[in-house]
C-alpha cells in the first residue's frame, strides 16, 4: 500500500509539472491503484483469517476433547501462518492458537515477537510465562528432590500469577505448578478459578481434589 501510494503521488506530480497526461502517466496511475488495492485485499484476508482463528480457538476451548474442533483450528492456523503478520494483536492470537494446539515452540516465538512490538501486551506475556512454567514443571518432575528446580518453579509461578489476565490457560497452569510442588490447597484454589474462566478445561477433571472415601462400618456389606 505504501509503495502504491508513493507511485500515485509521483505520477500526479509529473502530470502537474508537465501539464499534460501521457500514456505512461495513465499506466502509472493504474499500477499504483492496483498496488494499493492488492495490499488492501491482502490485509483484509489476514484480518478475516485472524477472526476465524479467534472463533475456532473459542470453539476448541468449549469442546477441548473434540477432534474436529482441534482440526479446524489447526487448518486455520496453517493458512494464516503462511502470510506475513506484523500486528502485535494478530501475532498474539496466532500464538495463543498454537499454544492451544500444543505447538509451544511456535507459540513462544510468536508471543516474544508480539512483546518486542508491544511490551505492554499482557496476553503475549501470559503465553510466554505459561510456557516457562511448563519448562520448570518438567525440570522438577525430572529431579523431584532438586531444591533449586523447585525454587525456580515457585518463582515462575509467582510471575504468572502477577500477570493480570483472566484466562483458564493461566489459572490451570498455576494449578499444574502447585500440583508438582505438592501444594494441594493452592491447586484447589486455582482449579476453582479455572472453572470460572474455562469450565470445560481438561485439568478440572484431572486434578480436582476428590472427597475422601468414608470407611465402611464393621458388619456393613
Across the chain, the runs of DSSP E, i.e. the strands, are: none
- The DSSP 8-state label assigned to residue 22 in this structure reads -
pLDDT averaged over every residue in the chain: 82
Instruction: Check residue 221 and give its pLDDT.
Output: 46
| pLDDT tens, position by position, 80-120 | 877 778 899 999 999 999 999 999 999 999 999 999 999 99
Cα radius of gyration (the chain): 26
Question: Residues for the chain: how many in total?
Answer: 221
At residue 14, the 3 state secondary structure works out as: helix
Taking the C-alpha atoms of residue 4 and residue 72, their distance in angstroms, rounded to an integer, is 35
Question: Is-contact 57 96, C-beta < 8 A?
Answer: yes
Cell numbers at residue 46, please? Answer: 489476514
Averaged pLDDT for residues 118-142: 98
Instruction: Check residue 7 and give its pLDDT.
Output: 47
Task: Provide the b/e sequence for 177-196 (b: ≥16 CB within 10 Å).
Answer: bbbbbebeebbeebbebbbe
Instruction: Check residue 100 and give its pLDDT.
Output: 94
Instruction: Check residue 80 and give its pLDDT.
Output: 84
At residue 137, the 3 state secondary structure works out as: helix
pLDDT > 70 in the chain, percent: 71
pLDDT > 90 in the chain, percent: 59
Say how many C-beta atoms besides its own lie within 10 A of residue 201's C-beta. 21
At residue 221, the 3 state secondary structure works out as: coil
| Burial tier of 142 (Cβ tally within 10 Å: 0-12, 13-18, 19+) | exposed
| pLDDT tens, position by position, 173-220 | 999 999 999 999 999 999 999 999 999 999 998 876 555 545 555 554
Say how many C-beta atoms besides its own lie within 10 A of residue 208's C-beta. 14
Residue ranges per domain, the chain? 122-212
Instruction: Check residue 42 and give its pLDDT.
Output: 42
Q: In the structure, what pLDDT confidence band is assigned to residue 52 with cuts at 50, 70 and 90?
A: confident
Taking the C-alpha atoms of residue 113 and residue 92, their distance in angstroms, rounded to an integer, is 9
85: nearest Cα among 70, 62, 106:
106
Largest CA distance in the chain: 110
Instruction: Check residue 214 and give its pLDDT.
Output: 52
Averaged pLDDT for residues 138-147: 97
Q: In the structure, what pLDDT confidence band is assigned to residue 132 with cuts at 50, 70 and 90?
A: very high
Instruction: Check residue 17 and give its pLDDT.
Output: 60
Stated pTM of the model: 0.73
Instruction: Check residue 179 and give its pLDDT.
Output: 96
Taking the C-alpha atoms of residue 57 and residue 96, their distance in angstroms, rounded to an integer, is 8
Task: Provide the b/e sequence for 148-175 (b: ≥16 CB within 10 Å).
Answer: ebbebbeebbeebbebebebbbbbbbbb
Comparison of pLDDT for 23 and 75, the residue scoring more = 75
Comparison of pLDDT for 38 and 139, the residue scoring more = 139
Q: In the structure, what pLDDT confidence band is assigned to residue 24 with cuts at 50, 70 and 90?
A: low
Amino acid at each position: 500500500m505504501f509503495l502504491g501510494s508513493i507511485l500515485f503521488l509521483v505520477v500526479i506530480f509529473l502530470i502537474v509539472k508537465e501539464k499534460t497526461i501521457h500514456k505512461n502517466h495513465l499506466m502509472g496511475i493504474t499500477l499504483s491503484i492496483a498496488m494499493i488495492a492488492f495490499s488492501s485485499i491482502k490485509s483484509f484476508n489476514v484480518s478475516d483469517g485472524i477472526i476465524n482463528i479467534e472463533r475456532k480457538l473459542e470453539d476448541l476451548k468449549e469442546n477441548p476433547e473434540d477432534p474436529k474442533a482441534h482440526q479446524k483450528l489447526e487448518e486455520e492456523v496453517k493458512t494464516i501462518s503462511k502470510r506475513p503478520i506484523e500486528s502485535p494483536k494478530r501475532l498474539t492470537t496466532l500464538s495463543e492458537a498454537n499454544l492451544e494446539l500444543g505447538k509451544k515452540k511456535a507459540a513462544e516465538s510468536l508471543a516474544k515477537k508480539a512483546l518486542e512490538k508491544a511490551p505492554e501486551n499482557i496476553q503475549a506475556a501470559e503465553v510466554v510465562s505459561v510456557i516457562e512454567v511448563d519448562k520448570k514443571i518438567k525440570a522438577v518432575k525430572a529431579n523431584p528432590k532438586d531444591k533449586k528446580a523447585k525454587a525456580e518453579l515457585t518463582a515462575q509461578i509467582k510471575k504468572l500469577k502477577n500477570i493480570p489476565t483472566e484466562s483458564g490457560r493461566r489459572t490451570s497452569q498455576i494449578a499444574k505448578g502447585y500440583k508438582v510442588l505438592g501444594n494441594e490447597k493452592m491447586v484447589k484454589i486455582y482449579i476453582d478459578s479455572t472453572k470460572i474462566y474455562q469450565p470445560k478445561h481438561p485439568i478440572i477433571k484431572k486434578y480436582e481434589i476428590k472427597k475422601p472415601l468414608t470407611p465402611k462400618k464393621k458388619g456393613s456389606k
